[in-house]
A and B are shown apart, each in its own frame.
Chain A
């Protein structure tokens, strides 16, 4: 499996982290995972909602101090 890409969007406000995720998920291979780092309070809820809407997979959401780590998998 290829190395997991990390997208650090901790300096961005809503909807910046989601838009950075969307721009970057297109750049990884189908089946690969991406980790989004975000301080935006909405990301923990918004990102899984977007993944469900468009058909990618939510792997995990973890609070790490002042930010969230959200791992997603490109499905299609």
Chain B
């Protein structure tokens, strides 16, 4: 595993950006690369456990088409990245605090705990950082 790690800071709740983050994370993780994802801001809403399927992903010019054509589900892609590769998913404690949520409010079998921005940015100095 010689590639530099990939760090993805996912903030947007826009479907297109969440989908691209999931694609980058899963493909990167299965390509012998360590991938770290930090979910914050509006993106966290797409990971709520009880969110109805029809409202989980919204926004972006191709969102409706992606759902109509049944492109791979973003959360399933993140899960595949964890199962088949080296993908770590963290959630921002600030955004969880303002919602009053704990990890059990989020979809199962995806998140590995909390990481603050300072720690994430510090670790990302050793890799490639992408913000969506």
Contact = CB atoms under 8 A, between A and B. Distances in A.
Interface of A: 12-16, 18-19, 22-23, 26, 50, 53-54
For chain B, which range describes its interface: under 10, 10 to 19, 20 to 34, or 35 or more residues?
10 to 19
Contacts of B77: 15, 19
Contacts of A22: 30, 84
Residue in B26, B32, B70, B72 with the greatest tally of chain A CB atoms within 10 Å: B72
B96 interface: no
Interface in B64-78: 69-72, 77
Contact of A13 (B26, B31, B71): B71
B115 interface: no
Contacts of A13: 69-72
Contacts of A15: 23, 26-27, 72, 77
Contacts of A23: 80, 84
A50 B84 CA distance: 14
A38 to B, nearest CB: 13
Given A12-B72, A23-B80, 8 more contacts: A13-B70, A14-B23, A14-B71, A15-B23, A19-B27, A22-B84, A54-B30, A54-B31
Given A23-B80, A23-B84, A54-B32, A18 B27 contact: yes
A13 to B, nearest CB: 4
B87 to A, nearest CB: 12
Interface in B27-60: 27, 30-32
Interface in B59-117: 69-72, 77, 80, 84
Q: Which of B30, B32, B69, B80 has the most CB of A within 10 A?
A: B30
A13 B69 CA distance: 8
Nearest to A53: B31
Nearest to B71: A13
